[in-house]
């Protein structure tokens, strides 16, 4: 039996980062993967979807070349080539992880791993042991009873990335990050898209102002949006698919070629031996302490399978903290109130901290500032004037409670707010920090100025 210091089960952005950090700290490390190194994020999620969205963005630029004083007489899309490029990007990233495993002398064990008692893992009949076993098995597309996925007419995110033909009509059920990103991509490619959202607002975890702006932007480009709506039944017996949608006005039947179910994720915790080992689980999540230890000594869990936010960057941070704690380093628990969230549709969305509604519910007296990109010189020059930056401060002490952005490139801007909040900066300090002009990022400073009644450009 092969013996290791640390074995990581799953090689997504939680697992492979954990393994690399463990190796850096001197642990003899192995990683178990049943499919592709990089997990869902690199192969079927974060990375290939961004490649699809980039193709959509370039196509949009071609469609609006006249707006920039350019004349492009003939252009078209090749849907198959767009998908192929996306897969190529994913394959390249996965090969990069293979290189990192070799560079860091991490053993890659291919196969299906099952936890065993006595700090062991069985991989397709071969047992391996370790002093520490870290579960990082991630999650998959969640299925609703009234919306079963058949992989052809009712699909999840995996199939949405590799459809052999572009559908003429698509219904997207759910308007979280996955739903709105695919809605934007397919609409840009020319598909007639309708979003059906159960809650009153699209991207319901975001600040209400952001949700309303995205709905306006989507309707402007031809995406139909139905909120406070529920798909009650589907009929796949015909050539396409029919969905009965219940709203406050009654029932409506929508017809499409394909339904994309984007109603959240389901953790991969079945059939990996949790019950045999006695690891505690509650409501689809493995219970862990602040350092990702389960109730059974020697077994740990990170990423989507634990109660924190199901985001790639959260999984990576959890894995690093977990192995640093094992190594005896002084580490502090992650502040889950300061995790940035990003959505890569167009316009992009990025946020951190409390929404306005949450801040009011907590009893804060607020200073709120908002700066529209329509007043930004850089946004105007780029032709991307949709959206804004909204900042929320505690009026009493100047604490930066929340930051919410919607617009071009905002996912690359949100880190300023995350860092500022980590360093406990105040509104006054942000306001007096000189931002470069003309940039999209100076909208952060302008929004803070608006909160403190010092705004210049609106």
427 is in an annotated binding site: no
Would you state the structure tokens that stand for residue 248, as one six-digit string? 């406050």
179 is in an annotated binding site: yes
Q: What share of the chain is helix, strand, coil (3-state, %, to 5)?
A: 35, 25, 40
CA angle 81, 49, 321 (to 5 degrees): 145
Q: Which residues lie below 8 Å from residue 243, measured CB to CB, with a gap of 6+?
A: 171, 173, 196, 231, 233, 234, 235, 253, 254, 255, 256, 259
CA distances from 250 to 220, 231, 423 (A): 25, 12, 51
Cα separation, 436 vs 446, whole angstroms: 12
169 is in an annotated binding site: no
Through-space distance between the first and last CA atoms of the chain, rounded to whole angstroms:
69
| Parallel, antiparallel or unpaired: strands 224-226 and 192-196 | parallel
Cα separation, 335 vs 332, whole angstroms: 9
Question: Do residues 67 and 25 make contact, with C-beta atoms less than 8 angstroms apart?
Answer: no
Backbone angles phi, psi at 29, to 5 degrees: -125, 145
- The beta-strand segments (E) located in 396-454 are 400-407
337 is in an annotated binding site: no
Question: Do residues 156 and 149 make contact, with C-beta atoms less than 8 angstroms apart?
Answer: yes
CA distances from 208 to 178, 195, 349, 381, 406 (A): 19, 18, 12, 28, 12
353 is in an annotated binding site: no
Cα separation, 161 vs 44, whole angstroms: 7
Nearest to 272 by CA among 3, 13, 4, 15: 15
Question: Do residues 343 and 205 make contact, with C-beta atoms less than 8 angstroms apart?
Answer: no
69 is in an annotated binding site: no
Backbone angles phi, psi at 440, to 5 degrees: -70, -35
CA distances from 351 to 364, 383, 391, 428 (A): 19, 23, 10, 20
- Within 10 angstroms of residue 198's Cβ, the number of other Cβ atoms is 16
Is 437 an active-site residue? Answer: yes
Among residues 64, 313, 404, 437, which one is catalytic?
Answer: 437
178 is in an annotated binding site: yes
177 is in an annotated binding site: yes
273 is in an annotated binding site: no
User: Which residues line the annotated binding site for NAD(+)?
Assistant: 174-181, 197, 264
User: Which residues line the annotated binding site?
Assistant: 50, 113, 174-181, 197, 264, 304
Task: Give catalytic residues, as residue numbers.
Answer: 437
């Amino acid at each position: 039996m092969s013996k290791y210091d640390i074995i990581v089960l799953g090689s997504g952005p939680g697992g492979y980062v954990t393994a690399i950090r463990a190796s850096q700290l001197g642990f003899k490390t192995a990683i178990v993967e049943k499919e592709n190194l990089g997990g869902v994020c690199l192969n079927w999620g974060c990375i290939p979807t961004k490649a699809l969205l980039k193709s959509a963005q370039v196509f949009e630029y071609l469609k609006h070349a006249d707006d920039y004083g350019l004349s492009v007489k003939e252009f078209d899309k090749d849907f198959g080539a767009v998908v192929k490029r996306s897969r190529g990007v994913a394959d390249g990233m996965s090969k990069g992880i293979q290189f990192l495993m070799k560079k860091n002398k991490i053993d890659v064990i291919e196969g299906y791993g099952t936890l065993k008692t006595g700090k062991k893992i069985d991989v397709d009949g071969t047992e391996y042991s370790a002093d520490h076993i870290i579960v990082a098995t991630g999650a998959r597309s969640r299925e609703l009873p009234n919306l079963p996925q058949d992989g052809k007419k009712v699909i999840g995110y995996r199939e949405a990335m590799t459809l052999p033909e572009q559908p003429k009509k698509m219904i997207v059920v759910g308007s979280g990050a996955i739903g709105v990103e695919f809605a934007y991509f397919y609409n840009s490619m020319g598909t007639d898209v309708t979003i059906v959202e159960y809650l009153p607002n699209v991207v319901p975890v975001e600040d209400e102002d952001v949700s309303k702006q995205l709905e306006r932007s989507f309707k402007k480009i031809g995406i139909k949006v139905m909120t406070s709506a529920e798909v009650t039944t589907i009929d796949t017996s015909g050539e396409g698919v029919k969905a009965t949608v219940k709203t406050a006005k009654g029932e409506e039947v929508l017809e499409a070629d394909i339904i994309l179910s984007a109603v959240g994720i389901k953790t991969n915790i079945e059939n990996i031996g949790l019950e045999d080992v006695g690891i505690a689980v509650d409501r689809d999540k493995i219970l862990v302490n602040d350092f990702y230890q389960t109730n059974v000594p020697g077994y740990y869990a990170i990423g989507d399978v634990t109660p924190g936010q199901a985001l790639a960057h959260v999984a990576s941070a959890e894995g690093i903290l977990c192995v640093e704690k094992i190594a005896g380093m002084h580490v502090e628990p992650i502040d889950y109130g300061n995790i940035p969230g990003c959505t890569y549709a167009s316009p992009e969305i990025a946020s951190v901290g409390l929404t306005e509604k949450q801040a009011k519910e907590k009893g804060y007296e607020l200073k709120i500032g908002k700066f529209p990109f329509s007043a930004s010189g850089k946004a105007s020059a780029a032709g991307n004037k949709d959206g804004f930056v909204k900042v929320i401060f505690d009026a009493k002490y100047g604490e930066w409670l929340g930051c919410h952005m919607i617009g071009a490139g905002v996912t690359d801007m949100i880190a300023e707010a995350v860092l500022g909040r980590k360093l406990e900066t105040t509104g006054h300090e942000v306001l007096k920090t000189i931002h470069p002009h003309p940039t999209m990022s100076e909208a952060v400073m302008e929004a803070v100025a608006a909160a403190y009644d010092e705004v210049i450009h609106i």
